[in-house]
């Protein structure tokens, strides 16, 4: 098989992948218009598994044409193949994604010794090429022509949500009022501004989001407009968000991926990056559903950070877990998690169960309360960057998952998550007010997870983290299960006075049984924290509350967890 043919076949595989991916994404607006929330969730899950299926199809086609040449690497052939493939991408609108697709195909075919820039795109070859114009993804509107409110009406109507608005004129008035209040330093006269609006809405769960910016003489003001359904009455604008911190939460690492149609992802990401400059390319590609590209960008960021730092990898702060060995690089805001060779006695499951539970969270609605994970295989670290204590612990706990080759340590499989302050450690140094707010957040996190059919299993405070936005986020998934699979029971009452005195009642407990009344006993043993939790979320101790959540899910009720403060909602002004 000639290099030209191999390059063409891989590019054809990518083209098919991207075409089908966008076709799946294009179903989201229809599902939103029809209020088919189950369909929205199905589309989101389907997109996550879609990539690997297309890579495997491409590999199968390569092997069917010349299996021997594919199995045994012909270095001259593949060096030329990469060069030809690179030429194909010079003016390709999805060049960066096509590079990653090529890498995926090659890396599943050959040994890791060839995973260097000679054979794959470790470095982005188009980094120095002219960037795709962001104008390919947004449209500009000029209020000086038609006036401010008519221009806003035109913007909303051109999105064609395929459903009527309950009262668009009212919503526009509220939108303008909110903008004046939230962005008082922006020039508000119609002849002093321009709207740049991304052409496609961002869909997730039960909402659509319009993303754009106001350009005026006073600078650039980014914004997000949330669009919701009012039961069967129609659409309405629910909120305007102009604060960068709120926008970053909406695009945060603890939420499901957006579904948005795009022809030039790099242009879309660059536009978003201008609105949220603290977000990395990896985070933004992840946020819009290109999680494989997010992996590529993250690895490049990590390699660059290693080259520009000299601190050592160390054991991550916090209470050691019984399933995962966790380490971190202090100067890099992430943790690395590896499944241990053996688990503690209280963990009656194996490695395969852990893998499935992490995948469950990956494909589920994370409602801003479960950290996204980046999964890698055969990750190469410089051996010299490992602290001696960490290295000894790795040999002790994950020996079967690591290999040392010369100056390198290879970990066969790991997860990477955003580093947060473990909630139990945060509380040790928190003021009274901070502790109250953190425990209230903890209870709210539990409520939001169970509302979307997630039972976290191990609800100890050490398994939750506090983000830099002071949100409490769950990050330990080895005991995650569907809420509907659990059996929530009340603790049996004492049958006699002797039972009450001895507190030694005997009752049977099945593996899926849960006693919510024990939540405070085991999770928040500290009486102060117990008081905080019961004063803000007393229903969490009531088995009936958990059973009602199960009932709602079984009845097809799809909860919507608002990713912005309730005070931002226009409904307060109706």
Residue 382 marked in a binding site: no
Give the residue from 218, 227, 212, 155 showing the smallest Cα distance to 183: 218
Give the residue from 536, 331, 328 showing the smallest Cα distance to 445: 536
Query: Which of 196, 372, 458, 478 is flagged as catalytic?
Result: 372
CA distances from 15 to 95, 136, 433, 551 (A): 11, 19, 54, 43
Residue 82 marked in a binding site: no
Q: Which contiguous run of DSSP H or E holds residue 473? A: strand 472-474
Put residue 475 in one of left, alpha, beta given phi > 0 → left and psi -120 to 50 → alpha: alpha
Give the residue from 132, 484, 104, 435 showing the smallest Cα distance to 299: 104
Residue 321 marked in a binding site: yes
Q: CB-based contacts of 314: which residues, under 8 Å, 6+ apart?
A: 327, 328, 329, 330, 387, 389, 390
Assess whether 372 carries a catalytic annotation. Answer: yes
The b-or-e profile of 362-372 (16+ CB within 10 A means b, else e) is: bbbbbbbbbbb
Give the residue from 297, 273, 271, 275 showing the smallest Cα distance to 286: 297
Residue 457 marked in a binding site: no
Residue 522 DSSP label? I
Q: Cβ(541)–Cβ(534) under 8 Å?
A: yes
**How far apart are alpha carbons 168 and 158 in whole angstroms?**
13
Residue 322 marked in a binding site: yes
Residue 319 marked in a binding site: yes
Residue 320 marked in a binding site: yes
Alpha helices by DSSP H, 89-239: 95-109, 143-146, 148-158, 168-182
HSE-CB for 416 with a 13 A CA cutoff = 18
Which residues participate in the annotated binding site for ATP?
316-322, 337
| Residues carrying an active site annotation | 372
């Amino acid at each position: 098989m000639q290099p030209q043919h191999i390059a063409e076949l891989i590019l054809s595989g990518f083209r098919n992948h991207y075409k089908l991916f966008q076709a799946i994404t294009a179903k989201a607006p229809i599902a939103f218009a029809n209020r088919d929330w189950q369909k929205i969730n199905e589309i989101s899950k389907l997109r996550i598994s879609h990539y690997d299926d297309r890579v495997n199809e491409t590999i199968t086609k390569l092997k069917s044409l010349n299996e021997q040449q594919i199995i045994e690497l012909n270095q001259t052939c593949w060096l030329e193949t990469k060069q030809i493939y690179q030429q194909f991408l010079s003016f390709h609108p999805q060049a960066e994604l096509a590079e990653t697709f090529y890498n995926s195909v090659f890396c599943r075919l050959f040994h890791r010794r060839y995973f260097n820039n000679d054979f794959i795109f470790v470095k982005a070859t188009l980094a120095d090429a002219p960037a795709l114009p962001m104008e390919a993804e947004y449209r500009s509107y000029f209020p000086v022509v038609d006036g401010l409110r008519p221009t806003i009406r035109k913007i909303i109507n051109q999105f064609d949500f395929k459903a009527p608005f309950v009262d668009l004129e009212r919503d526009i008035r509220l939108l303008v009022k909110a903008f004046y209040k939230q962005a008082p330093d922006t020039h508000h006269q119609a002849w002093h501004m321009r709207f740049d609006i991304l052409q496609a809405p961002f869909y997730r769960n039960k909402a659509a989001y319009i993303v754009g910016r106001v350009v005026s003489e006073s600078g650039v003001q980014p914004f997000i407009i949330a669009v919701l359904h009012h039961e069967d009455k129609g659409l309405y604008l629910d909120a305007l968000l102009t604060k960068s911190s709120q926008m970053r939460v909406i695009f945060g690492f603890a939420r499901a991926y957006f579904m948005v149609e795009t022809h030039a992802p790099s242009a879309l990401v660059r536009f978003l990056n201008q609105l949220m400059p603290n977000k990395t390319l990896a985070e933004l590609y992840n946020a819009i559903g290109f999680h494989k590209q997010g992996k590529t960008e993250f690895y490049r960021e990590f390699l660059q950070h290693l080259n520009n730092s000299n601190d050592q990898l160390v054991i991550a702060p916090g209470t050691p877990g019984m399933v995962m060995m966790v380490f971190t690089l202090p100067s890099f805001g992430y943790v690395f998690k590896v499944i241990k060779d053996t688990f503690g006695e209280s963990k009656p499951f194996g490695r395969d169960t852990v893998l499935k539970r992490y995948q469950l969270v990956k494909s589920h609605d994370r409602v801003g309360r479960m950290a996204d994970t980046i999964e890698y295989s055969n990750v190469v670290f410089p051996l010299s960057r490992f602290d001696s204590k960490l290295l000894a612990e790795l040999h002790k706990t994950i020996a079967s998952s690591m290999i040392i080759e010369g100056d390198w340590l290879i970990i066969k499989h790991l997860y990477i998550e955003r580093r947060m302050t473990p909630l139990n450690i945060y509380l040790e140094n928190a003021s009274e007010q901070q502790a109250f707010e953190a425990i209230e957040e903890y209870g709210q996190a539990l409520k939001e997870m169970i509302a979307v059919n997630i039972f976290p299993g191990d609800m100890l405070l050490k398994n939750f983290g506090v983000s830099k936005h002071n949100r409490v986020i769950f990050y330990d998934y080895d005991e995650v299960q569907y809420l509907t699979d659990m059996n929530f029971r009340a603790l049996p009452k004492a049958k006699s006075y002797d039972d009450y005195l001895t507190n030694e009642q005997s009752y049977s407990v099945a593996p899926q049984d849960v006693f919510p009344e024990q939540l405070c006993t085991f999770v928040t043993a500290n009486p102060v924290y117990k008081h905080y939790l019961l004063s803000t979320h007393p229903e969490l101790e009531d088995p009936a509350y958990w059973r009602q959540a199960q009932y709602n899910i079984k009845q097809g009720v799809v909860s919507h967890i608002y990713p912005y403060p309730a005070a931002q909602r226009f409904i307060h002004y109706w």
